[in-house]
Amino acid sequence: MALTEAEFVARYGGIYEHSAWVAEEAAPITAATEDINIIAQVMADCVDNASTGRQLALIRAHPDLAGKAQIAGELTEDSTSEQASAGLDQCSPEEYERFQALNREYHQKFGFPFVMAVRDSGRGDILAAFENRMENDQSTEFETALAEIHKIARLRFNAMEAG
């Protein structure tokens, strides 16, 4: 049975972090299907075809890794689970300080948070990726952030399908 637009947005609106507009745009396009793979692709296409400003807002909707929002308990349920799966809720004081320093440097260089699909990664892997991606230029990092956001979305779809 097909979902109404409101039901679709209620179900899939959180797939892209704080960006229900993706589900709102995809809803009428996917009205005839319940195939999660088609829905995932249509939602990814909505992001890829969005304006640069809207894409930037999507990137900026993501929290810093091991950041203040995590410490304050202000992450979405999905982000909390994803960061915990990578052990970011168990950082040593030194690791926490390193994440904070990298978050600041990254924001200063790129103007948006470092985004990485961290599920099944360790803190060391994430820190290494952080440091490597600091070498990217603005355009490369913008595209990398969007690619990582699509990975996060796919993981969220998979979790939804399994759960």
Same domain, 75 and 110: yes
Residues 127, 109 within the same domain: yes
Do 72 and 34 fall into the same domain?
no
**CATH code: domain of residue 120:** 1.10.3330.10
Residues 84 and 18 in one domain: no
Quick one: 98 and 123 in the same domain? Answer: yes
The tens digit of pLDDT for each residue in 133-163 reads: 999 999 999 999 999 999 999 999 999 988 7
Kindly state the average pLDDT of the residues 116-138.
94
Residue 71 and residue 90 in contact, taking contact as beta carbons nearer than 8 Å = no
**Is pLDDT of 109 > 90?**
yes
Say yes or no: 77 and 151 in one domain.
Answer: yes
Instruction: Give the domain range for residue 27.
Output: 5-56
Give the number of domains in the chain: 2
Do 14 and 74 reside in the same domain of the chain? no
Q: Select from 35, 56, 77 the last residue of a domain.
A: 56
- 16 and 84 both lie in a single domain: no
Q: Are residues 103 and 43 in the same domain?
A: no
Q: Are residues 119 and 151 in the same domain?
A: yes
Q: Kindly state whether residues 97 and 130 are assigned to the same domain.
A: yes
Average pLDDT estimate for 14-36: 95
Is the domain of 120 the same as that of 74? yes
Helices (DSSP H) in 18-137: which residue ranges? Answer: 21-26, 36-48, 52-60, 68-71, 77-85, 93-110, 123-133
This prediction's pTM: 0.94
> Which of the four pLDDT bands, split at 50, 70 and 90, describes residue 2?
confident
Predicted confidence at residue 94, as pLDDT, reads 92
Whether 66 contacts 96, CB under 8 Å: yes
Which residues are identified as catalytic?
A: 62
Interatomic CA distance for residues 135 and 133, integer angstroms: 5
Distance set, CA 96 to CA 15, 40, 101, 102, 103 (Å): 27, 34, 9, 10, 10
